[in-house]
Amino acid sequence: MTNPPAHLATLLVSCPDRKGLVASLAQTLYGHGANILDADQHTDLLAGMFFQRIRFDLSSLTTDRVALEAAIREVAGRFGMSWRLAWGHERKRVAILVSRYDHCLYDLLLRHRAGELDCDVAVVLSNHGELAPIAAQFGIPFQQHRAKDEATIQAHLDDARVDTIVLARYMQILSPAFVARWPARIINIHHSFLPAFMGADPYRRAYERGVKLVGATAHYVTDELDEGPIIEQAVVRCTHRDTIDDLVRKGRDLEKVVLAQAVRWHLQDRVLVYAGKTVVLE
């Protein structure tokens, strides 16, 4: 609920599984005076891959951040780790992209104001002007671009020093070239239980198929539409009485909750991607 304390840091690693990984990392952190608060790990035995998230307290560090980072780099090199280190004093900067639906935008901005999302919302970008007043109401800069004008989008992202892009029911498809610049950093909400009803108009198709549950899926964007690694999903019950409008209404509640959960986990550096899937560490 509160800001992430500046004296905390989070380390995320993934690598081929080997003996001594856990001990080496723990020993390295301990040796520098860092106190491990949380550690969650996962070994995918089939893939032979190891994943770990360690959150630790820097306040009694006996060396300094530079030395600690160098030591982690050394261990990582030895074990062939991919890794990233997030310092508590560096808040992530988020851009929210929208079109005309306002429910996810409102929801994210209200949660941000309530302290649920630990980031700076740097800018709201849209291919329409309609939602500008909502951004204004929360004091967030709003920038409009023409459809498909990704150069302008990128310029706005650069200007606002954005790390993470949230597509809050943004109705444009981003090009593979654009997506390639933001690997595992663009979060989309799709209004179905993927892989069911990929593509356009999922509520109408769910209605026509007569399903008894409708869903929503938050995923990282890749260059294959609706095929990116799934971060979170949820469903809600429906019946033959529900019209398409009812499914849209029920779905809105799901979309908001599922997208916010995925964004929160991403901001907390809990999500690792491999083999087209996510590992969400506690």
Active-site annotation, residues: 226
Binding its own copies (rule: CB under 8 A), the pick from 7, 65, 103, 185 is: 103
| Residue 277 within binding range of its own copies, rule CB under 8 A | yes
* CA torsion angle 166 171 175 176 (round to 10): 60
CB of 42 to its own copies, least distance (A): 6
3-state SS assignment for residue 54: strand
> How far is it, in rounded angstroms, from Cα 181 to Cα 1?
31
| Residue 30 within binding range of its own copies, rule CB under 8 A | yes
CB of 140 to its own copies, least distance (A): 16
> How far is it, in rounded angstroms, from Cα 34 to Cα 210?
55
> How far is it, in rounded angstroms, from Cα 10 to Cα 28?
14
Name residues whose C-beta falls within 8 Å of residue 199's C-beta, 6 or more positions apart in sequence. 225, 226
CB atoms within 10 A of CB 192: 24
| Minimum CB distance to its own copies smaller for 59 or for 175 | 59
| Residue 139 within binding range of its own copies, rule CB under 8 A | no
| Minimum CB distance to its own copies smaller for 127 or for 217 | 217
| Minimum CB distance to its own copies smaller for 69 or for 227 | 227
| Residue 71 within binding range of its own copies, rule CB under 8 A | no
* One-letter amino acid of 165: I
Binding its own copies (rule: CB under 8 A), the pick from 3, 5, 6, 35 is: 35
Whether 141 contacts 122, CB under 8 Å: yes
Whether 170 contacts 98, CB under 8 Å: yes
* Interacting positions 209-248 with its own copies (CB under 8 A): 209-213, 215, 229-235, 237, 239-241, 243, 245, 248
* CA torsion angle 141 153 126 232 (round to 10): -100
Binding its own copies (rule: CB under 8 A), the pick from 3, 63, 82, 137 is: 137
Contacting range for its own copies; rule: CB under 8 A; set: 34-42, 63-71, 90-98, 163-171: 34-42
CB atoms within 10 A of CB 65: 14
Name residues whose C-beta falls within 8 Å of residue 278's C-beta, 6 or more positions apart in sequence. 220, 229, 230, 231, 271, 272
Contacting range for its own copies; rule: CB under 8 A; set: 8-16, 120-128, 165-173, 194-202: 194-202
| Residue 44 within binding range of its own copies, rule CB under 8 A | yes
Binding interface with its own copies (CB under 8 A): 1, 19-23, 26-27, 29-31, 33, 35-46, 60, 103, 106, 110, 114, 116, 137, 193-197, 208-213, 215, 229-235, 237, 239-241, 243, 245, 248-249, 252-253, 257, 275-280, 282
